[in-house]
Amino acid sequence: MRAHAEHPRFGAVVSDRVVVGVIALNAALLFALAFPGLDSGWRRVLLALDMACLAYFALEMVVKIRILGWVSFWSRGINRFDLFLVLASLPGAIIPSIPADEFSLILLLRLSRLLRFVRVLRFIPESARLLE
């Protein structure tokens, strides 16, 4: 049962369609940001959109915790995974101007944001069977 889908005020924030859309947008942004010859103006726009996606994911976590309560939220593995990804992405948001190739830890944390796209698998019926 999906408790967040039943919540009248916050249901849209954590609806499956919105989450998948933001994950797909974020994955596309990270892909576009990987091109080395990207114009600096476009890079700033893409980074701002990436930070907006991160803000959405952080808001989603807060809303889920508020709706479900900490114990219920923490009991699901996918929620722990999502929380880890949001927390791991925060250093990149705080210091986005650091050249990631000079700091391997920052690069690793930035790359961990791509793992959000894996969350889409939970919306595919029998995804565990597909992975096997």
pLDDT tens-digit map of 106-130:
555 556 656 666 666 666 777 667 6
* The pLDDT of residue 72 is above 80: yes
Say which amino acid occupies 15.
S
Q: CA 95, 64, 33, 46 torsion: positive or negative? A: negative
pLDDT value of position 3: 41
pLDDT value of position 30: 78
DSSP state of 99: -
Collapsing DSSP to helix, strand or coil, 34 comes out as: coil
Task: Report, as an integer, the average pLDDT of 52-70.
Answer: 90
pLDDT value of position 34: 79
Q: CA 61, 64, 70, 73 torsion: positive or negative? A: negative
pLDDT value of position 70: 95
pLDDT tens track for 2-58: 444 455 566 656 677 788 788 888 888 878 887 888 888 998 898 889 889 889 989
Structure tokens at 117: 């796209």
pLDDT value of position 52: 92
* The pLDDT of residue 75 is above 90: yes
- Which has more pLDDT, 65 or 98? 65
Query: Under a CB-based contact definition with an 8 Å cutoff, are residues 32 and 67 in contact?
Result: no
- Sorted by sequence, the CB contacts under 8 Å of residue 71 that are 6+ apart come out as none
**Alpha helix locations (H) across 3-132?**
3-6, 16-33, 40-68, 70-75, 77-94, 104-112, 127-131
